[in-house]
Each structure stands twice: as C-alpha cells, then as structure tokens.
Amino acid sequence: MARGLVFVAIACWALLVHTSATATVQTYVESGAGTNEIELGYPVPTPVDSALPVAGFRSYASLLARHRDLAGLGVIEERRVGTTLEGRPIWAYVIGDADLRLADGSGREPAIVFNGGTHAREWASPEVATALLETLAAGAQDGAFIEFLIDQTTIVLLPVLNIDGFLHTQRTPAQVLRTRYSGDPSNWPRDGRMRRKNMRGVDNDLTTEADGMLGVDLNRNNSPFWATSSRSSRDTASLVYHGAGPASEPEVLALQAAVADWEDRLRLFVDIHSFSRVFFAADTGHARRDAIARQVANIMGAATSGYGYDPSPAGGGIGALDEYFAYRYQIPSYTLEIEPGAAGASEYGHNGVTHDGFILPEDQVTRVRDELASALLLGAYRQAGPPVVHAFRLEAADGMMLAEGAWQPDGQQARQLDDQPATQLPTGELTLALQFDRPMRQHDGQQVLQYRGQSVPLLPAVTLVGRDADDQPFEWSVAAADMRWSGVSDSARYRADTLFITLDVEPGSGLAAARRLDVVVDAQDLSGQRLDALPATVADWADGGWTRYEDADGRSGDVGGASAAFRLVGAGGPDAPVPSSSSGGGGSGAVSPLLGLGGWLLVAWRQRRRRGSARSAACSRVSSARPA
C-alpha cells in the first residue's frame, strides 16, 4: 500500500513539473503592500554595480571584477576550478606566499578553506567571502596579523560557488514565486530572489513555474551522509533535493578540485551561509578533533556579536559540505550561518515576514562583513599552529651582545638549537629580547590591544631559573613593568612578535652570581593558544589533532605549556625534556615526560652548534630589534 502511495505521489509531481503554467509572481516592497506583494518594512536590496564595498550588496559582475583586481596584487592567485551547468567558470583564489614553508624554513604551511555562495539566495555570504579577500589583500604588508597569515598559511577561498543560482536571484532581486510544492508551507516564497539550489533543469524565466522548484541543493550533495537523512530528499522539487549521487553537481566537484593540492595540509574549513547566527558543525566521534573544533568555534564566536556553536552528534548527517570536510580530513569544519538570528529581520525592528532573514537589510551589511572577516581570520590564525619562542638576544646597556640563540630548521619535523650563552651576567641594566614566530598580540601602531572578543593576558609570565654560586636552585620572576611587546619600529618580523625584558643586575645579586641561568616563558598567543614547549620538534596536524606539540613536561597533545626556551648563562641546553622516538600522550613525535620545569636534574637538548657566520637570520633580526 505504501509503495502504491509513493508511486501515485511521484506520478502526480511528474505531471505538475512537466506542465507549463503561468506562475504567481510576488514582489517585495518596503511598505504599502498590495496584491501579491510582500512588505519587508525596509528598502528592498538590489545589486549595486561597484567593485568597491558598498553599504549593501554588489552585483556578481562587480564582485568578480573585485576578485580579479585583487588577484593581480601578487599574493593572490586566481584558479579556475570548474564550470557551472550554464558554462560559467568557477573561480578559487589562493592567498599566500610562494614558499609553502613556515617563516623559519621548517614545517609545512597549513591550508585554510573558506567557501561562499553555496545557496543562491544568501547574498551576505559572497559579501563576507569577498571581505576576507579584501582584508587579506589590504593587509598583506601590514607587518602584523594579516602579514603573518600571508607568510605562514595558504588560504583557499571560493567567494561564490553557486554562480548560476546567484545570478538568477540577482536578475529578479524583488520577485519570487508563490510555492506550488506540497512539501512547503503555502506562504513560502520560491525561486527568483529566494532560489536556494543550483540551476539543474531550470531556465532563467521566473514565470515558467514548471521548473521553478527544480535544481540541486549543493549542501545535501556530499558524502559521507548523502541521501541518509530525512533532512534531504530524493524529490526533485524539494528545497533539499540531494541530487543523483554524491558530488553529482559541478559546483561540488569544483570545491573538491580547489582543495586537491592542499589535502594533506588542511586544518580548517568554513562554508558561509545565512541565516541563524551560529556555527553549525558535525562531531565525528574523534574526541581530540571534536574538542578542538569546539574551541576554535568558541574563539571565532567570541569575535562576533554573539554567534553560538551547535554541533550535531557523530555518526549522522545531512550530506552537508562541512560534514564532508570534517569526516574526510578530520579538521574543524563548520557551516557558518550569518545573522540575523531565528527572528529574522524583526531583530532589526522590521516586519519579520517569512524568509526575510535571507534579505539582510543593507544598513547591516558593512558591519556584518567586517565583523565576520575578522572572526574567520582569527580562526585561520588559531589553526596556523601553536606559537613558538624561537630566538633570543641578551645585550648590555651599551648594545654589546652577551648571549644569543635561535632554533634552526633541521628538515620538516625538527629544529636544532644554535646558541651562545654567556659565562656570567655583568652588572647593570641588560635587555633580553625574546622573539616569537608570530605576532603574539594586536598592535595598532601605538599600543598593544586585545583581538576582538578575546581576553588573553597582555603580557606572558617569564621566569629565570638557575643555580647560584653555591649550586643552589633559584627562581626570579620578571615583573610586568619590566616587559613590553615590540612596536612598529623595533619588531623582528611582525609587530608584537618580540618581548623586550629589562633585567637590572645588581652587584652581589643572585643574577650576577648565577653560574647557570635559563629563561622559562609561559605565553599565550592572541587567540589564547599556549606555546609549543619543545621547539626542537615542529608541530603539525594529523588525524584530528596536533602532533609534536608538547607541554612543559614533554607530553605531546593539544594544550602546550611553558617553554624552557633558552640558556642565558652556562654551558649546555636549558633544563627540559629530551626529544625521543617514543610515542605517547595524544600525538606522534612525542617526547619523554622527564622532569618538567619543576625538576632540577640536568637534561641537555640534542643540539648541533653552529657559530659565527652561520648565525641565523632570525638572530640578526632580533639583534636589530632595539627597544625605543
């Protein structure tokens, strides 16, 4: 009986979709709605022909012109990754430098992927994606946050995936069809400005009702959960029709092609949608990945005006793009739903008619664009990897170098310490410069600031630990008043990448008499991620978590800790665990959990000494980074 009913329903639908009819077209208006008009309560947005950002939405032609203009600036490469059903090229933009290595020459640059315009009616999505491109291009030489992303990540960006559908919505920006599909509530608008799906089987005449419900939902067209959920459908008229098979649509294949060169280095994927004000995600059942995905979402959400995090349970899905990336690559992966929230445009004091959340008022666009570009790039920064303190220089008041050192690359997975400690500290005022591999704080050119929505201590904890003339252990904590982050004129590579510490060594003091002295740094980067405590191993990402990312006791995991970074006085290396081939604690390349910073047994780093002319460029940069 059930099979017979299904057959009758399919037959009835086939009769409907193959019968031409005059469609009931409805028109959006600001106010004074008449017959077949929908009153938004605010001006109806229309596409603006302007390559530069406007207080509203740009036409696809203008967005494309903007993308292509920015691709001529040197750090952005344009790639054709596919072709739409209507024969249009699908473009991806690869942002980064050419070397694909971390700035110190070790390790591999991670790849971050942002995708926009999956659903045609969600005009805010291509605007946010384009804002990402504009922000990266504008800050490529800012000597700070953005330049770090250019130097040490590869960002792959598809601003508009569903180009055919997006153009269809922009041809009739104020018109929709009244639905004839029994699966929709009768007041739902369809096609025209409210087209969701791609253009498979669809013409560009809004009044041809027979094809108005067709097309494929690109966010239901993906493995591993293609056609497994009640939230996707085999009915071609459904808003969530999943297509003939996983990745049956050229747009989905184009996204897969765009990431093909970076598959072994992916660390973050965000598919930009509207609306709900939330980061949707899929837990995969991989405990470490799921925990990191939550952390990254919360960090990005804190940089917004209140976006939540809503993961779905492991083992089930709807065929969404974020699920494909989460399960296939075990990386943090999200469907970001742009504002407004569930109340739609009534959130801004407007009428709150059905589906108006997809029509963001033009006076909100600039704020949303800027806010989400900032939040998403913070996610890219976070997934660039844990921070490292990788060079130091100790100078006397007259500028004479007393001690220096830097971690040098030794292949892709290791570094060797090249250092020259002092034999004893002279009395007087000394300057210790600790250089990190990234901007550790925001710096506006005048002062150190929190990144939007973050609450990280502006200064780290720095302790000098060692043994005095009687071979007794001692500790000396550096006061906050004696520390400052580098500014514009004295940065090693980026603003706020070098911490300057003033040491006042008095005659007869423990510091003056120290025969061994190490510097221990407990710092968080601007996203709150703690240091890789063991720079000798280069942290990376594999199988849903960090590898070779150690805490202060040498345990590999995802949290990091205080780093016994350098020896300032005395022979040998700092008191810290020794790199080991043994595995353990949550990642490959683990180290022996020996001693920790609280122990006083000496354990020397395995190191290779390189002196004189072999001194690194990193040391040279620290050398020239003088306090103002």
Are 440 and 563 spatial neighbours (Cβ–Cβ below 8 Å)? no
Are 278 and 307 spatial neighbours (Cβ–Cβ below 8 Å)? yes
pLDDT at 393 over 80: yes
pLDDT at 573: 62
Mean pLDDT of 7-36: 64
pLDDT at 375 over 60: yes
Distance CA(48)–CA(394), nearest Å, equals 57
Are 57 and 120 spatial neighbours (Cβ–Cβ below 8 Å)? no
pLDDT at 617: 35
Domain ranges of the chain: 41-383, 389-624
Three-state DSSP class for residue 177: strand
pLDDT at 244 over 50: yes
Half-sphere exposure (Cβ direction) of 618: Cα atoms closer than 13 Å: 27
pLDDT tens profile 13-25: 443 443 344 578 9
In terms of pLDDT, which residue wins out, 402 or 588?
Answer: 402
In terms of pLDDT, which residue wins out, 271 or 22?
Answer: 271
State both tokens at 560. 């990091």
pLDDT at 473 over 60: yes
Reply yes or no on whether 371 is catalytic.
no
pLDDT tens profile 149-181: 999 999 999 999 999 999 999 999 999 998 888
Three-state DSSP class for residue 595: coil
What is the three-state SS of 311-350? EECCCCCCCCHHHHHHHHHCCCEEEEEECCCCCHHHHHCC
Are 459 and 526 spatial neighbours (Cβ–Cβ below 8 Å)? no
Phi-psi region of 41 (alpha: psi -120 to 50; beta: other; left: phi over 0): left
- Residue 317: Cβ within 10 Å count: 25
Cα distances from 293 to residues 45, 47, 317, 384, 549, in angstroms, run 35, 35, 17, 14, 17
Percentage of the chain lying above the pLDDT 90 cut: 79
Residue type, 232: S
Distance CA(150)–CA(144), nearest Å, equals 10
State both tokens at 239. 């808003």
**pLDDT confidence of 339, banded at 50, 70, 90?**
very high
Closest CA to 113 of 277, 255, 320: 255
**pLDDT confidence of 581, banded at 50, 70, 90?**
very low
Check 122, 127, 251, 337 and give the catalytic one: 337
Least trusted range by pLDDT, from 361-370, 393-402, 605-614, 617-626: 605-614
Mean pLDDT of 94-112: 87
Distance CA(267)–CA(112), nearest Å, equals 6
pLDDT at 575: 56
Q: Which residues contact 226 (CB under 8 A, 6 or more apart)?
A: 220, 232, 242, 245, 246, 319
- Pairing type for strands 333-338 and 266-274 reads parallel
- Pairing type for strands 545-547 and 540-542 reads antiparallel
pLDDT at 409: 92
Q: Which CATH class is domain 41-383?
A: alpha beta
pLDDT at 592: 28
Mean pLDDT of 395-423: 94
Are 319 and 222 spatial neighbours (Cβ–Cβ below 8 Å)? yes
Mean pLDDT of 261-287: 97
pLDDT at 22: 55
Three-state DSSP class for residue 287: helix
pLDDT at 72: 86
Closest CA to 468 of 510, 421, 425, 520: 510
pLDDT at 186: 86
Distance CA(188)–CA(213), nearest Å, equals 12
Three-state DSSP class for residue 524: strand
Mean per-residue pLDDT of the chain? 88
Are 60 and 47 spatial neighbours (Cβ–Cβ below 8 Å)? yes
pLDDT at 99: 83
Percentage of the chain lying above the pLDDT 70 cut: 87
pLDDT at 518 over 60: yes
Three-state DSSP class for residue 91: strand
Report DSSP state, residue 373: H
Cis, bond preceding 361 (omega within 30 deg of 0):
no
pLDDT at 533: 96
